[in-house]
């Protein structure tokens, strides 16, 4: 049975899906004239407007494009406002009162709800010009196939929405969304995968730990009490009275890091300096290690390190000493004696050039570790009341990081055939620890980071029994913990992983000896013997795991050094 014809032009303008079945001959003739006028719109010409078979454009729609290409059976409904370079696939709908402007590309089968805005352009906001005189930029909006954008949604310039997504009414989409995402909110965040039949996650607070896992809370409390009781002994085990230095574990060589790890462990478990020396002596010895010319800290018995082209060596102990020695002194109530001069004299051009040349593709951990050390050196310089670097360099760092983060992984770097996502995830931890986390800034693409990290955590090469080590576990839990402060994306999965890791981690403690670091791929390093490095790292890991689960209070300690959860304070410190 055929549909009755409609003589109400307003009905078809507002409900254009009725046009194919209900339009009268007169209405079809009027629509043909409407489309001819579009094809001849002033300044456009036939080559700039293409309308597929079965399209409809409402008479009351304001359509003034630079280029318009509508796929077959697509329509623009009443009072829509369409300008710029607009291209759609087949079966797309721009519903009443919708705004589509700038550079916007829609795939096939895209439904855009009424009163939504897809704004594929932006104004500058520099302070030197009024807003109305600012230049206009356009990165464009790209929407994949089979996407439903609900009513009153706003999508801003530069966003890509993957295939099969659903965007809830009223959402403000400011970041890319991968395929199959169901998103909502302002700013829009992932609720679930469209293919997942489970109910969407909510933003409700995690259950109180005493209600959810009283046994684990008791286990955490008992572990922390035992660790505190044994702390002085395990520090003494790694103290060499003859040399007056610490070793990571008996039989190893003394290192600067071992001394710094001892300070971190003592502060965490004892709330004081390591008992082998008075606090003032610890401070004096660590301050004396700094080379006054470069501001860097060499290893015991080594010459002052040579700075790299952007202020720091590419790798090695002296780069890490910027972190560990600086925070050990901070825990002792002191600071470096000198600024890190090699970073203080770095220009924005030097820094950006060096960032671009770091080995992101195959050695992302080394690249991220360099950023961690450089940003931490800049932080210590600010704490001493000097310039972090040449003006503009610190801003250039964050600008480069923001513009080079991969919107699909949230990270810098790429997977490798040999180790999968290990390099990029471990590099992400080091990079964000020293930059975004230390300076109290939100990380870009937090939900994509969680996706990448959880996928990496399933890699049996690094997370099967007997293969986990402190570095790999820390480099998963810290990004999960950090991003959880910005989003509830996949929170249940993150908590499930943390719960399993926490139970395993607690069993690694060896009475009177501490934690082993864990196996390393090449068999070198701290390995399976308990030592200061493994103990310092696993204590922080356990806190992060417990805090993600809501149980950290049971430990009675909170990291304040390298792994501090709060941004580092900017106040100037004195000796």
CB neighbours of residue 238 within 10 Å: 27
**C-alpha span between 205 and 217 (Å, rounded):** 18
Q: Identify the active-site residue in 67, 115, 123, 189.
A: 123
Residue pair 455/410 in contact (Cβ under 8 Å)? The answer is no
Percentages of the chain per state (helix, strand, coil), in multiples of 5: 40, 15, 45
φ/ψ bin of 550: left (φ > 0), alpha (ψ from -120 to 50), beta (otherwise): left
SS3 41: coil
How many Cα atoms sit within 13 Å of 514 on the Cβ side?
32
Cα 409 off chain centre by:
9
DSSP alpha helices (H): ranges in 185-300?
209-212, 214-237, 256-270, 279-288
DSSP alpha helices (H): ranges in 70-213?
209-212
**C-alpha span between 509 and 57 (Å, rounded):** 70
- 123 belongs to the catalytic site: yes
Angle between helix axes 491-506 and 446-456 (nearest 10 degrees) is 50
β-strand pairing of 189-193 with 181-184: antiparallel
Residue from 102, 194, 190 nearest 145 by CA:
194
How many Cα atoms sit within 13 Å of 447 on the Cβ side?
19
Residue for token pair 């970073």 = 343
**C-alpha span between 309 and 296 (Å, rounded):** 14
Report, as residue numbers or ranges, the catalytic residues: 123
């Amino acid at each position: 049975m055929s549909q009755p014809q409609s003589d109400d032009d307003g009905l078809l303008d507002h409900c254009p899906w009725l046009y194919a079945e209900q339009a009268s001959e007169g209405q079809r003739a009027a629509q043909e004239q409407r489309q001819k006028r579009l094809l001849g719109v002033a300044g456009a010409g036939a080559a700039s407007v293409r309308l597929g078979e079965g399209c409809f454009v409402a008479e009351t729609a304001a359509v003034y494009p630079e280029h318009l290409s509508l796929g077959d059976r697509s329509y623009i409904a009443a009072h829509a406002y369409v300008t710029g370079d607009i291209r759609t696939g087949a079966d797309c709908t721009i519903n009443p009162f919708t705004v589509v402007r700038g550079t916007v590309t829609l795939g096939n089968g895209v439904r855009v709800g009424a009163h939504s805005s897809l704004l594929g352009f932006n104004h500058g906001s520099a302070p030197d010009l009024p807003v109305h005189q600012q230049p206009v930029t356009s990165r464009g909006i790209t929407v994949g196939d089979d996407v439903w954008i609900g009513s009153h949604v706003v999508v801003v310039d530069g966003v890509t929405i993957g295939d099969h997504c659903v965007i809830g009414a009223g959402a403000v989409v400011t970041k890319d969304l991968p395929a199959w995402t169901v998103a909502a909110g302002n700013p829009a965040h992932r609720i679930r995968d469209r293919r997942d039949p489970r109910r969407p996650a909510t933003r409700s607070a995690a259950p109180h730990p005493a209600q959810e896992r009283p046994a684990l809370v008791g286990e955490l409390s008992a572990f922390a009490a035992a660790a505190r009781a044994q702390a002085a002994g395990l520090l003494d085990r790694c103290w060499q009275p003859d040399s007056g230095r610490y070793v990571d574990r008996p039989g190893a060589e003394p290192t600067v890091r071992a001394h710094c790890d001892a300070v971190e462990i003592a502060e965490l478990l004892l709330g004081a300096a390591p008992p082998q020396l008075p606090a003032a002596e610890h401070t004096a010895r660590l301050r004396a290690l700094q080379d006054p010319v470069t501001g860097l800290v060499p290893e015991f018995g080594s010459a002052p390190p040579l700075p790299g082209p952007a202020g720091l060596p590419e790798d090695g102990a002296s780069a890490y000493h910027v972190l560990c020695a600086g925070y050990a002194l901070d825990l002792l109530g002191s600071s470096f004696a000198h600024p890190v001069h090699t970073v203080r004299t770095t220009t924005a051009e030097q820094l950006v050039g060096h960032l671009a040349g770091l080995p992101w593709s195959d050695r992302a951990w080394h690249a991220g570790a360099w950023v961690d050390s450089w940003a931490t050196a800049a932080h210590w310089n600010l704490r001493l009341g000097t310039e972090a670097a040449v003006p503009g360099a610190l801003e250039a760092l964050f600008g480069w990081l923001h513009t080079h983060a991969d919107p699909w992984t949230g990270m810098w770097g790429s997977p490798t055939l040999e180790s999968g996502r290990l390099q990029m995830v471990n590099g992400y931890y080091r990079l964000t620890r020293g930059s975004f986390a230390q300076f109290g800034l939100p990380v870009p693409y937090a939900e994509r980071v969680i996706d990448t990290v959880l996928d990496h955590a399933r890699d049996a090469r690094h997370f099967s029994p007997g293969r986990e080590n402190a570095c790999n576990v820390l480099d998963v839990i810290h990004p999960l913990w950090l991003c959880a402060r910005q989003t509830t994306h996949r929170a249940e999965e993150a908590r499930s992983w943390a719960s399993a890791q926490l139970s395993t981690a607690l069993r690694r403690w060896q009475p009177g000896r501490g934690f082993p670091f864990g196996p390393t791929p090449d068999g070198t390093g701290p390995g399976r013997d308990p030592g200061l490095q493994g103990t310092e790292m696993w204590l922080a890991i356990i806190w992060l795991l417990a805090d993600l689960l809501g149980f950290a209070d049971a430990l009675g300690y909170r990291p304040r050094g390298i792994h501090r959860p709060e941004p580092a304070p900017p106040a100037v410190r004195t000796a």
